[in-house]
Amino acid sequence: MSPEEDPALTNRQYVNQAHIELRQRSMQILTVSALESLALIFLWQFSFSKESLLAALHRILSIGFILRAIPPLVTLAGIIVARKAFVQVQRPCYTSAWDYAHALFSLKMLCYAGTHILSAFVFFYIYHSLNGTGYMDLVAGPRGKTHLNAPFVYNTAFAVCLGMWSALDRVFRQRDHLQFPVVQRSTVPLLKARLPTILVQGFVQPIPCFILFNLMYTIVPQWSHRIYASLFGILADTTLYHPWSVHYLFPPSVLLRTYLAMALTVSAWEVTHTAFEVTITKAWRVSSCLFDPFSGLAYAMSIKNIPLIQRCAFLELDQRSRSDPNWRRALYEDAGRPGGRTAWGFILTPCLAALQDQRDRINPPAPPAGPPKPPTDTGIPTDWKAREFLPEGKDVMRSRRIPVSSVVQRDIQEAVDGGRTYLRDTSKSQLEKRGLLPWVTRPIPTLYAWAKAKALEWTEPWVKGMASAIDRVMRKDQERAPFVDVERTIWAAQALGTLVSASFSEDRYGVVQQDIPQVLSSLLDCLADVEAYAQKIQGLDGVSGPQIHPQCLCLIDVLRRTIYQIVVTFWDYLPQMKMDPKVRDVVRQYAGFST
């Protein structure tokens, strides 16, 4: 069956072709990451060696170096690329402490940590093997008295700490997720534009891990060496070979080269991340090879079980609507479909659905009302209530209260005052008679209670500080929650604005003009919800409180520009269009900017 007879075949062809395109681009990313990591190794090695450039180049291009360096680099680059593609499919949002705990002890976290630790160890090994210092040799010492090499333990522990540190940073800050709106319009070459930034990040990011590790290593050198040696006790004697210092401290040359190895590792990770962004977000033309490109593109924008392909489909829509006038004219002229459907209708539906999904993420729909809850039992017998309270008003009850002196009587008096009812008699005998004494009896203060109160009083500032820090982190994630997939909304809004505005001169059949009120209404509703959310966050903002998320401001700017673009283009014809009065009033506000 041909695609003309079976529209579903076109939809499947788009998904299959998108998978093929993603695999091809992943191979490009793998090649770029491996070659640029190799270039960084050469740059680091030559900068701190005394040999000539020709000798260093001859050594780095030797067969032995290629056999040692290229296979692990390619393997690790492939693992990182595959993991980054997996991250785009499952993009989490942490809104509670349980989400953080689940992410910390999940299989995904183990994959993150394992990948980063393995790659850090490989980069450390390649870097130290090139300079010929023997820092990554497993054993060292005189012949016949070999011991576990101290620099090997030192650098291996550094690689483990750096890998875990970076894995935690990328899990909780979600730094592996693509920033499509920022990257998609980058036209300069990768190395020329971003290499200085990558090198700066490579030197800056390892600083906290490097300082903490060396502080621990300096303060407790004996314990730290024993801990590190116990990890490798099966391979060699736990007595470390340390030819430099009896206090297990290394000279500055070792510290410097270790720090440079850390900078190399972080730079290689940043190169992979940047190459992934630039390569994935460059021009998409998957729908051009299909029999029905508009139906396949609309289907890809509607599927939610493959988020990466869905986002790439919206990216293709935004790119082609801006840069391909022939594609736009074909979209406007494709009106002869069965059932009166048009290609514009195929494209419009997922774009409006993306705007509505953004509104639902900002203002989640209320859950369905459940059955009414049964009344709570206060512990006071109902027959005693009816028998013991006066039938007059509350003022009469308040005037007839009996002063109390004992602790038990005061408790029952205060408890009943909280319910705005008052007892006629609060003596102990009456309480025992009515079975209320256990309900109001207070435990006698003890030394344990006093010590507990003092401990809580002393630790209260620390607990409040930790709670405040956790609250700030969780609040920041809660602010980010409505915008975890904001790129899809941005591309949908930009594509609608471009297609509607271009239809003024390119749409000869008026296919798009009849849907302008619906498009404006959806854009204005989404803008109103996003602005209300931003005002709410700004109202909660204090001196050191949460800030409005940058993607929220970016979305507001895109929606305003899109509405302004449509209103200015069709201002002379908007009065003749059927539009809600509230929408018409808001549209008039945008007309003032056209003068």
Write out pLDDT tens, residues 168-221: 776 666 555 555 544 444 444 555 566 677 777 778 878 887 877 777 766 665
Give residue 374's pLDDT band: very low, low, confident or very high (50, 70, 90).
low
More confident residue, 4 or 307: 307
- Alpha-carbon distances of 110 from 164, 171, 219, rounded to whole Å: 10, 11, 30
Whether the Cβ atoms of residue 512 and residue 499 lie closer than 8 Å to each other: yes
Taking 80 as the threshold, does the pLDDT of residue 518 lie above it? yes
Whether the Cβ atoms of residue 437 and residue 428 lie closer than 8 Å to each other: yes
Q: Of 45-54, 240-249, 403-412, which has the strongest mean pLDDT? A: 45-54
Of the chain, the end-to-end C-alpha distance in Å amounts to 57
Q: Going by C-beta distance under 8 Å and a sequence separation of 6 or more, which residues neighbour residue 232?
A: 138, 148, 153
pLDDT at residue 497, rounded to an integer: 92
Q: Tens digit of pLDDT for each residue in 547-574?
A: 566 778 888 888 999 998 898 888 888 7
Rounded mean pLDDT of 11-15? 75
Taking 70 as the threshold, does the pLDDT of residue 117 lie above it? yes
pLDDT at residue 93, rounded to an integer: 54
User: How does strand 147-149 pair with strand 240-241?
Assistant: parallel
Rounded mean pLDDT of 566-584? 82
Sheet containing strand 240-241, strands side by side? 139-140, 147-149, 240-241
Taking 80 as the threshold, does the pLDDT of residue 526 lie above it? yes
203 residue type, one letter: F
Rounded mean pLDDT of 323-333? 86
Q: Tens digit of pLDDT for each residue in 395-443?
A: 444 444 444 444 444 444 444 444 444 444 445 555 555 554 444 444 4
* Residue whose token pair is 């203060």: 445
Taking 60 as the threshold, does the pLDDT of residue 6 lie above it? no
Taking 70 as the threshold, does the pLDDT of residue 355 lie above it? yes
Give residue 230's pLDDT band: very low, low, confident or very high (50, 70, 90).
low
pLDDT at residue 492, rounded to an integer: 92
More confident residue, 291 or 385: 291
Give residue 103's pLDDT band: very low, low, confident or very high (50, 70, 90).
low
Give residue 124's pLDDT band: very low, low, confident or very high (50, 70, 90).
confident
Give residue 107's pLDDT band: very low, low, confident or very high (50, 70, 90).
low
pLDDT at residue 409, rounded to an integer: 47
In 10 A of CB 141, how many CB atoms?
A: 17
In 10 A of CB 2, how many CB atoms?
A: 8
Taking 60 as the threshold, does the pLDDT of residue 228 lie above it? no
Nearest residue to 486 (alpha-carbon basis) of 534, 420, 538: 534
Give residue 594's pLDDT band: very low, low, confident or very high (50, 70, 90).
very low
Q: Is 140 helix (H, G, I), strand (E, B) or coil?
A: strand
10 residue type, one letter: T
Q: Going by C-beta distance under 8 Å and a sequence separation of 6 or more, which residues neighbour residue 275?
A: 29, 32, 33, 36, 190
Helix axes 7-47, 293-302, angle to 10 degrees: 70
Average per-residue pLDDT in the chain? 68
Q: What percent of the chain has pLDDT over 90?
A: 5
Burial class (CB in 10 A: 0-12, 13-18, 19+), 30: buried
Taking 50 as the threshold, does the pLDDT of residue 244 lie above it? no
pLDDT at residue 158, rounded to an integer: 79
DSSP string, 277-315: HHHHTS---SGGGSSSHHHHHHHHHH--S-HHHHHHHHH
pLDDT at residue 203, rounded to an integer: 80
Rounded mean pLDDT of 509-531? 88
Q: Going by C-beta distance under 8 Å and a sequence separation of 6 or more, which residues neighbour residue 92?
A: 99, 103, 174
116-130, 234-248, 256-270, 287-301: the lowest-pLDDT one: 234-248
pLDDT at residue 193, rounded to an integer: 62
Rounded mean pLDDT of 241-254? 53
Q: Is 89 helix (H, G, I), strand (E, B) or coil?
A: helix
SS (H, E, C) 145-189: CCEEEHHHHHHHHHHHHHHHHHHHHHHHCCCCCCCHHHHCCCCCC
